Amino acid sequence: MRRVRSVAGDSVNLLLYRELERCDDVAEEALWRLNPLLAEQGAVLPVGVWVTLPELDSKPIAPTPVSAWD
């Protein structure tokens, strides 16, 4: 597991996108499980908060769009 520090203006989604290049529900749920007290920091994280990042597979597969003509 890798740990990073938050920078000014970070939210959980922004931090996930910057570090893992994804901020989908699976990544966010894994991050909250690893950092249960992180929610106490608020919606915008203070500078310098240590966050443990989840180890995830590569980017999730984008769902194929459904067409009415299929």
Quick: pLDDT tens for 1-37.
Answer: 899 999 999 999 999 999 998 888 999 999 999 999 9
Structural domain including 23 reads 2-53
Residue 65 covered by a domain: no
> What backbone torsions phi and psi does residue 50 show, to the nearest 5 degrees?
-75, 130
How many independent structural domains does the chain possess?
1
Residue 45 covered by a domain: yes
Residue 67 covered by a domain: no
Residue 2, both tokens: 């890798």
Residue 43 covered by a domain: yes
The pTM for the full model equals: 0.76
Residue 6, both tokens: 């938050």
Residue 44, both tokens: 């915008």
Residue 22 covered by a domain: yes
Residue 31 covered by a domain: yes
Residue 70 covered by a domain: no
